[in-house]
Amino acid sequence: MIIYPILSRLNEWWKGVVAAYGLPPEFVPAGQMVVNGVLIAGFIAALVLFLIWLTRKVSAHIQQRFGPMRVGWHGAVQTVADALKLVQKEDTTPRGCDRPVFNIAPFLAFAPTVVAFVVIPFGDGAIVRDLNIGVLFLFAVTTINVIAIIAGGWASGSKYSLLGGFRSAAQLVSYEVPLVLSALGVIMLAGSMRLGAIVDAQSRVWFVAYQPLAFVIYVIAATAEVNRTPFDIPEAEQELVAGFNVEYSGMKFAMFFLAEFANMFLVSAIAATLFLGGWRGPWLPGEFWFLGKSFAIVLLLMFFRWTYPRLRVDQLMTFAWKFLLPLAFLNLIITGLIVVLI
């Protein structure tokens, strides 16, 4: 992709600036971080705009509608218009809320997602930091999202949002366990937590072939992690109106929305990296393969979203603890045995 030459040129330029003005050498990585951060945030914003449009189009065609058609080609700039509308809206803070927590929660929801993109390999060498604990870092960082949701639900001072926040806490913590366990199988096969190494280990056969069960568990748990139907209990529209974000409006609501869609892409990207060979693929550039695989998973999640009803909260818990978790352990044991024996 064209971003990386620009990025490296920018980094070189910054190095030059620091040297020319005699600034302390610590300024070099600091400036590079700023540049990288801005680029990732921009990428996520553009991605989310596209994802929202895609959701609307996919849902419309499943439901025999057209979806947005007026603003731009097939409504292509509809989400831009919606985003502009949200920016213009008055930033209201309801009475009786916990003001600082209320204000910080949307950003707390969005920030971990941006940070998580740091370790995602978009293509050959197209990775901001290939940490040697990449997978651990990913799961650790994305878990912060729970705190944001509880904080938002609690601080709103509404019973509906509080219920939504607590439901979400229970759900996310429960599904985190099978999610991580399913990824463990991949780590055992690759022998590394570095995402670059995991992709390299799949140069011949994708891990989904060795770990089909883990892949299924991962997709189910990931659907729950990002609060999509049939696991969208925290924001069950029919019971809780909108759940934890019921009191949010304007830009703060947009931040939650942004985080939700960015997270959806993130879990799909992780699935593509861990199970589907990441950016590896013939002929075309790696970025193309990576995005293609990620979007395939995103589409799968969208099909779930627009086909299935929602589970009840106790059924959700039963499913996680009594079904998914034992399966994940079983998968882990089998994988372990095979790795040891071969």
Partner 1 sequence: MATDTAIHTEEFQVNMGPQHPSTHGVFRMVLTLDGERVVECEPHIGFLHRSMEKMAENRLYIQFLPMADRIDYLSSMFCSVAHCEAVEQLMEIEVPPRAKYLRTMFMELNRIASHCIFFGIFALDLGAVTPFLYGFRERELTMDLLEMTSGQRLTFNYVRFGGVAADLPESFFPAVEKFVKVFPARVTDYERILNENEIFLARTKGVGVVAAPRAVNYGWTGPNLRASGVDFDLRQNMPYEAYGELGYKPVVLSRGDCYERYLARLLEMRASHALIKKCVEGLPEGPTQKEKVSKFPKVPAGEVYVRVESPRGDYGLHLVSDGTDKPYRYKLRTPSFNNLSMIRELLRGVYLADIVPIFGSLDVILPDVDR
Sites of contact with partner 1 (CB under 8 A): 59, 62-65, 159-160, 163, 167, 229-230, 232-233, 236-239, 241, 306-315
Give, as one character, the DSSP assignment of residue 322: I
Euclidean distance between CA atoms 56 and 43, whole angstroms: 20
85 versus 159: smaller Cβ distance to partner 1:
159
Two structure tokens written together for 85: 């509308």
Q: Are 262 and 278 in contact (CB under 8 A)?
A: no
Q: How far is the CB of 58 from partner 1 (least distance, A)?
A: 11
CA distances, 272 to each of 53, 137, 198, 226, 304 (Å): 22, 17, 11, 16, 18
Give, as one character, the DSSP assignment of residue 143: T
Q: Are 171 and 224 in contact (CB under 8 A)?
A: yes
Q: Are 142 and 225 in contact (CB under 8 A)?
A: yes
Number of residues assigned to the chain: 342
Q: How far is the CB of 93 from partner 1 (least distance, A)?
A: 21
Q: How far is the CB of 314 from partner 1 (least distance, A)?
A: 6
64 versus 88: smaller Cβ distance to partner 1:
64
98 versus 239: smaller Cβ distance to partner 1:
239
Euclidean distance between CA atoms 209 and 182, whole angstroms: 14
236 versus 266: smaller Cβ distance to partner 1:
236
**Which stretches within 211-324 are classed as H helix?**
212-225, 237-240, 250-275, 286-305, 313-318
240 versus 269: smaller Cβ distance to partner 1:
240
139 versus 304: smaller Cβ distance to partner 1:
304
Q: How far is the CB of 310 from partner 1 (least distance, A)?
A: 3
Rg (the chain; Cα; Å): 21
Q: How far is the CB of 65 from partner 1 (least distance, A)?
A: 7
107 versus 323: smaller Cβ distance to partner 1:
323
Q: How far is the CB of 262 from partner 1 (least distance, A)?
A: 22
63 versus 88: smaller Cβ distance to partner 1:
63
Which residues make beta-bridge pairs with 123? 126
Two structure tokens written together for 245: 């974000």
Q: How far is the CB of 170 from partner 1 (least distance, A)?
A: 10
Q: How far is the CB of 109 from partner 1 (least distance, A)?
A: 22
Q: Are 314 and 167 in contact (CB under 8 A)?
A: no
User: Got the DSSP string for 147-203?
Assistant: HHHHHHHHHTT-HHHHHHHHHHHHHHHHHHHHHHHHHHHHHHHHT---HHHHHHHTS
